[in-house]
Amino acid sequence: MIGIFGGSFDPLHRGHINSMLSVGHALNLSQVICIPAHQTPNRPMTEGPTPAERLEMTKEGLKPQSYLITVDDREVRRGGISYTVDTLESLRQDYPDEELFLIIGMDQFVNFSQWRDYEKILKLTHLAVTSRPDFEFPQGLEDLPVDLQDKVDVFDGKEALLHNGSKIVFVQLQDVAVSATEIRRRYRQNLPTAKFVTPEVDAYIREKGLYQAGQSKVDNFENFTQFCMAVLENRNGINIQGFDLREAQSLSEYTLVCSGTSTRHASSLAEAVIKAVKEEYGLWPLNVEGQKEGRWVVIDYGSLIVHVFYDFVRLEYRLEELWQAQKGVKALTFQSPLPQSSVITQR
């Protein structure tokens, strides 16, 4: 029996290693194949290591576990968006007679029925679902994702047997509360990371200078903020307000807030900023949160954080009032006209 563990590993951390080792042990797997994605579906483009660097970092990081775990480069070689179903089909050809267990965290399992061809995935493999802090294991059939419920024959709270003969096994970990997003932030802010990444991965990150605040492409963050404000204005963003936080106690130097008339409008405003900044500055954000939902999208450019709200949600938080109440915060006056190259025609 072979375990399959995919992810972006940006970077590989102790939570990933713990998951592979614990499931390997609990299910008595002969091998776990760890497969770094070329590009994970639905993940926004961000600044950071190339797929080849993530692959190399994962290989370096898993050398001490080579007795159980092998790192496979098929998704990086395939390029494009890495759909698990394609990977499983190719693994099936390599291992026609093996039982495969796709290992995923509970955070992934809750959305599993939105994965491309998830029904086919369930024919190709069993699932091993691991615990993650803040996510509860299902207790009964009615707690399983709705689309899966009618595919289950029996569920005893630990293992669900499906009509098609596959099973979903739930494996409780000694949880390591860590996410790659948090680790990237820690590297950018020069905070300790030893609790979250192993020495091998840390050495690789430092040698390659990964996850540094991506400031090199922006020489003046005030102009950069003005540029983002202009993009939002051009797309009919509502009540755009920028702030200089350099003399305030804050993690970023500048911030701006804007809203859209709907969650869709907010998502498209965020998308417009990301696209225009990429075109004008050649820069992807360091991190993006909430873009799909469009209620409160946070685009992190290191020294500038952009908040795009659905206007209704913005009223709940009133961030600008919090900032204005802080000592040293200066409101920016919107001045820069949008450079010609970045004028976006309205859709």
180 binds ligand ATP (CB under 6 A): yes
Residues 262-292: b if buried by 16+ CB within 10 A, e if exposed = ebebbbbbbbbbbebbeebbebbbbbbebbe
Closest by CA position to 4, among listed 15, 12, 19? 19
Measured CA to CA in angstroms, residue 215 lies from 185, 284, 287, 301, 339 at distances of 14, 11, 14, 8, 20
CB of 19 to ligand ATP, least distance (A): 4
Give the nearest residue (CB) to ligand ATP. 105
When the beta carbons of 80 and 96 are compared against ligand ATP, the nearer one is 80
When the beta carbons of 178 and 273 are compared against ligand ATP, the nearer one is 178
Task: Give CA–CA dist 102/332, Å, rounded.
Answer: 50
When the beta carbons of 8 and 252 are compared against ligand ATP, the nearer one is 8
Choose, by CB under 6 A, the member of 3, 7, 48, 294 that binds ligand ATP.
7
Choose, by CB under 6 A, the member of 178, 266, 273, 283 that binds ligand ATP.
178
Residue linked to tokens 């207790």: 139
When the beta carbons of 34 and 305 are compared against ligand ATP, the nearer one is 34
| Binding piece for ligand ATP, criterion CB under 6 A, among 2-10, 57-65, 87-95, 243-251 | 2-10
When the beta carbons of 251 and 315 are compared against ligand ATP, the nearer one is 251
Choose, by CB under 6 A, the member of 70, 113, 149, 179 that binds ligand ATP.
179
Instruction: Please give the order of strands across the beta sheet that includes 330-332.
Output: 287-289, 296-300, 304-310, 254-260, 238-244, 330-332
176 binds ligand ATP (CB under 6 A): yes
Choose, by CB under 6 A, the member of 3, 4, 19, 118 that binds ligand ATP.
19
Where are the alpha helices (H) located in the chain, listed in sequence order? 14-26, 51-61, 74-78, 84-94, 106-109, 118-124, 146-149, 180-188, 199-208, 221-234, 263-281, 311-317, 319-324
Choose, by CB under 6 A, the member of 16, 126, 265, 307 that binds ligand ATP.
16
The tokens describing 66, both together, are 């080579």
CB of 41 to ligand ATP, least distance (A): 11
CB of 226 to ligand ATP, least distance (A): 30
Site string for ligand ATP, 107-146 (x = CB under 6 A): xx---------------------x-x--------------
The tokens describing 198, both together, are 């192993």
Task: Give CA–CA dist 300/306, Å, rounded.
Answer: 7
When the beta carbons of 3 and 105 are compared against ligand ATP, the nearer one is 105
Task: Give CA–CA dist 211/47, Å, rounded.
Answer: 8
When the beta carbons of 195 and 318 are compared against ligand ATP, the nearer one is 195
Judged by CB under 6 A, the chain residues 48 through 107 that form the site for ligand ATP are: 104-105, 107
DSSP per-residue codes, 29-62: -SEEEEEE-SS-TTPPP-SS--HHHHHHHHHHHT
Residues that bind ligand ATP (CB under 6 A): 7-10, 15-16, 19, 40, 104-105, 107-108, 130, 132, 176, 178-181
